[in-house]
């Protein structure tokens, strides 16, 4: 497994920020919450190749970016019998739909469906 050079890490981090529509301020706030100790202007300067950061600070910036991207996952497509309950897993709903079909309920009823039983 090859390591990224500091410049490759910077470029790829900047690309991830641009691709996901993140702002430097939100990246810095998250970075700072991880005990990062450089200010927002220094993070911006790093991302634009004007200064270098320590390996730890570079990794904290990358961690901040990765976490912010993970929080921005696009919404999923709903199933016909989705609950409005955000705690109900899409995977469980999909399994209920498949189970209903295997049991001859072609309307894909699942939980709470009004089928002919």
Sequential pLDDT tens for the chain (117 residues) = 569 999 999 999 999 999 999 999 999 999 999 999 999 999 999 999 999 999 999 999 999 999 999 998 777 777 787 666 555 554 555 556 556 666 776 554 444 444 454
Residue 75: what pLDDT? 73
Instruction: Read off the pTM.
Output: 0.64
Same domain? 49 vs 97: no
Number of domains in the chain: 2
Per DSSP, helices labelled H in the chain are 6-20, 24-33, 40-47, 55-71, 90-102
Same domain? 62 vs 88: no
**What gap in Å lies between CA 27 and CA 42, rounded to an integer?**
12
Residue 108: what pLDDT? 47
Could you list the residue range(s) of the whole structural domain that residue 103 is in? Answer: 75-112
Residue 24 CB neighbours (<10 A): 19
Same domain? 61 vs 10: yes
Residue 72: what pLDDT? 86
């Amino acid at each position: 497994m090859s390591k990224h050079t500091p410049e490759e890490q910077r470029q790829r981090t900047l690309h991830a920020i641009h691709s996901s529509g993140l702002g430097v301020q939100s990246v810095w706030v998250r970075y700072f919450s991880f005990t990062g100790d450089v200010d927002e202007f220094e993070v911006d300067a790093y991302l634009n190749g004007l200064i270098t950061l320590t390996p730890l600070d570079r990794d904290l910036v990358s961690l901040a970016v990765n976490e912010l991207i993970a929080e921005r996952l696009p919404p999923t497509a709903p199933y016909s019998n989705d609950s409005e309950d955000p705690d109900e897993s899409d995977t469980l709903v999909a399994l209920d739909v498949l189970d209903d079909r295997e049991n001859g309920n072609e309307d894909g009823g699942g939980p709470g469906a009004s089928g002919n039983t």
